[in-house]
Each structure stands twice: as C-alpha cells, then as structure tokens.
Amino acid sequence: MNSYIGHFIAGEPYVESNTRSGPVYNPSTGEEISRCAYASRDTVEKAVATAKSASEVWGKTSHAKRLAVMFKFRELVIANMDSLAEVIGREHGKTIPDALGEIGRGIESIEFACNEPHITKGEYSNNVAGDIDVFSIRRPIGAVGCITPFNFPVMVPVVMFAMAVAVGNSVVWKPSEKVPSAALEIARLWKEAGLPDGVFNVVQGDKEVVDTILEHPDIAGVSFVGSTAVGEYVYQKGTSNNKRVAAFTGGKNHMVVMPDADLEAAATAFVTAGYGSASQRCMAVSLLLPVGDETADRLLELIVPKIKALKVGPYNDPKADFGALISSESKMAVERAIDRCEQEGGKLVLDGRGFSVEDHPNGYYLGPTLFDHVSTDMQMYKEEVFGPVRGIIRAKSYEEALKITNRHDYGNGSVIYTRDGKAAHRFMMEVESGMIGVNVPVPLPTSYFNFGGLRESKFGEGHLYGPDAARFYTKYKTVSQRWPEHDNMISSSSLAFNPIA
C-alpha cells in the first residue's frame, strides 16, 4: 500500500481528513509510490495563523539563540545528506551524486544565513543636528510564504527559508506536489535543531494552496521559483494583495564560444552544463552559439562523441550521468518540442526519442538530443525546453551572438568561452543577463552573492539568496533620537514643530 504524505504544522505532522490528494511517482520506474495530500483552504489558514503567532516570538528572539538553531540545523542536514539524497532521487529521478550536489549548495546557504547578524547591521549617524542621533534597524517582516519547484526539492527551498528563519521570520512552505517527501524530512530536522514549534510549517497541495497563501493578509512576503507563466501570476496576485514578492522564473541560457576559445574545454562544458539533471534546471546551458562556421564545425566534432557517451539510467545507478524526466507529461512535452523543431527546419544531429532503460521500461526516460542550425524564429530558441534537448545557433560574429542573446525574453544566465580578455570584458558589460560566466559553464553564484536573472527570468526586486535575501525578508526602521539633560527637558508648553531645533 502506498504511503500518504501529509503536512507539518505547529511542530507536528498534520493529516487532514477527507482531503484531496494526488499521486507521487518514481520517475525511474514510472510507478506510483505514494499519495500527496492537497491542503484545503482551512488547513492553509491554520498554518498561517500558527506561523503568524510564532513569528511574533521568534522575531524577538536574540541573534545568539536563533544562530544556535541555525548551526544545529546545518549539522543535521550534513548528517542526513545520504537519506535526503535518496528521497530526492526516488521522487525526482536525478542521480544520487546530483542530489548530493544539490544538498551541498543548500548547506552553503545555511552557512551564509549564519552570518545574519553582520548582514543585517544597521547604520548610525551621531549628532546630525541638535544632539540628535539617527540610526536604522532591520526587523523581520513576519510570516512568509515559500513556493518551490520540483527540480530542486531541497536546495531551492533551503536557500529561501534559511535566511528567512535566520532573520526572525516564520515560514509556510508549499513544496511541489511532485516531490513532497523531502519537505517533511526538512521539517523534522528543524524541530530536532530546536526551532520553536510553529516557526516552520509545510502545506502540501496545488493551486488552491498557492492562492490562499497569496491572498492571506497575514503573509507578508512570498518567494517563488518555477515557470514564467506561474511566476508572473504569483507576482501579480501577491503584489495586488500588498505583499512583497520575488518570483524567479524561466531561463534560456546562451553559451557563446569565440574562435580563440579552448574548444575541448568548451565542448565538455556544454555537454555537462547542458544535459546534467536531464536539463531540468533553470541554469542549464540551453543554446550553444559558436562564432563562425569553422568554430561550429570543430565544436560539433568534439561534442557529438561526448553526448553519445552519456549514460542515462535510474537515480540509484552509480554509472548514470542523468536520470529520468519528472513525469510522463514532461516527457511528452519535450518530445513535442523535438517534433516542432524538426518541422521548423532544425537539423537533428542526435535523437533521444524512443530511448529506454533495461529493466525500467516504464521510466520517463529520454536520451540526449541535439539540433544544429537552430534559428531565432524557431520555438527551440524562443521557449524553455525542460528536458535533454539542446540547440546550436551559428553566429557570424560576436555582435550577432550578443544580439541573439539579448533579444531573448529571458535573461537568467549567459556564458562566454574565450581566451581574449577584451572580448570577455565586453561580454560582461554588454550582455543583458543577471548571472554571467566567463569560461565557467554554469554561472551559479556562490551563496554570498545574489542570485537572480533579468527580464522575464525574474519578477520583483528581491534575489533568491545572497545579501539581498536578508533585505527581502526584513523591513527598515529609521530612528531619530535625542536625550536632553534632565534639567533641560522640554516642557509641554515649549513644544515646537521643528524636530531639530
């Protein structure tokens, strides 16, 4: 009998009677392995009320006590990496090494959040006029909502709520209903770390849960990662309900390769950054832009054997380079994208359709696929393909490659491979992307730098992690203060409207 995955509210597992639910699959085998509860509006409101009450106490807790919990949480996540990776692999389909890498990046964000007292220090000016001192303080905003995607069941939520909790907020987390189990494991670790009950809550579900979070007056801020269409909806609905919202959405990341580049390194980078995790990540390299036909032809000779050597298999196969797609629907959507690119004139170099894994005939597998001669009027250029399908757009010059990159609706990440420092500097200054790689295939910043794209890759002014995350989860207060000598206290009869007299 399949297990039933419920919620976590007020420090305890919470199961709602007579609720809706949905299936959870093992993508490696295609079998249903559990049922995920879909919270009703009443359950979400219970979680928000719990978080609101807990935030009022947690927000007043000293930095020292909050950090003691954060350090303990870090230790517990490290101690439970293997079991968390198993949960991720079983429900997502990514390989165990990939899952461990994801958790490692989450741990980096926990470590950065432990610097919260330094990041949130205010400003101070002495005696601006009339013995008045002016200073600023940062305070937590209250209860916050975190809405996270399937492709990073641990890393993305951790980088959201590690800082949110560290600065004194409480959390209501809505994970993807496709990968719900990791959320309960994380909730258990928070409780074991000593986080007060109610500060961290999990509500499983679908759009009804999202809408309740976005509409609830006691949710002060919402952080989201997911598709562009849903992210824009979250941003518009959340801000219309007077919440601060940061929504991180799609990416179509371009990799420009100049003729002078180390082509062997560029080819390896494109294959690893393009096809890792079955390309189900917003920072994957989507399109390769070699400058000049000679560069493109030489790269193609290097790339094709490397792609053919990739091994696709179940999440627990230690030899697999990447695993299955998240669902049969996702697999079919990617196959339709391949069909469409063929119809529009793309040259199919490698075809991953019809791929199967021995002993796993029902798994959601797709082999690595590559198109050459993609053009900017094709869907393969315009839309994000969340699967192992990559394309090559041949650019005649650096200027054309830059134009192709900048005219795209998305501006998440962009990469250049070159030995020319001037070309690299021009690219850094001229490309319109939030994260840029120079001879680095995945320009994912380390945890103490801000993460976020441009254009339709991000809605709102916040960043997912880095120093700006602390700003997103706190509010400024500026205090003007004067303490006159006792004998010179201003009497009520001598009050003036000039505050600095």
Nearest partner of 160 among 464, 467, 451, 474, judged by Cα: 464
CA atoms of 27 and 356, how far apart (whole Å): 13
Helices (H) and strands (E) in the chain, counts: 16, 23
CA atoms of 263 and 250, how far apart (whole Å): 28
Tokens for 54, please give them.
């807990």
Q: Which residue carries 């980096």 as its tokens?
A: 108
H-helix or E-strand spanning residue 263: helix 263-275
CA 280 to chain centre: 12
Handedness of CA 73, 61, 56, 140 (dihedral sign): negative
Catalytic site positions: 282
Handedness of CA 43, 45, 48, 54 (dihedral sign): negative
CA 416 to chain centre: 23
- Number of C-beta neighbours around residue 21 at 10 A: 17
H-helix or E-strand spanning residue 337: helix 328-343
CA atoms of 399 and 454, how far apart (whole Å): 20
- Number of C-beta neighbours around residue 470 at 10 A: 22
Q: Is 390 helix (H, G, I), strand (E, B) or coil?
A: strand
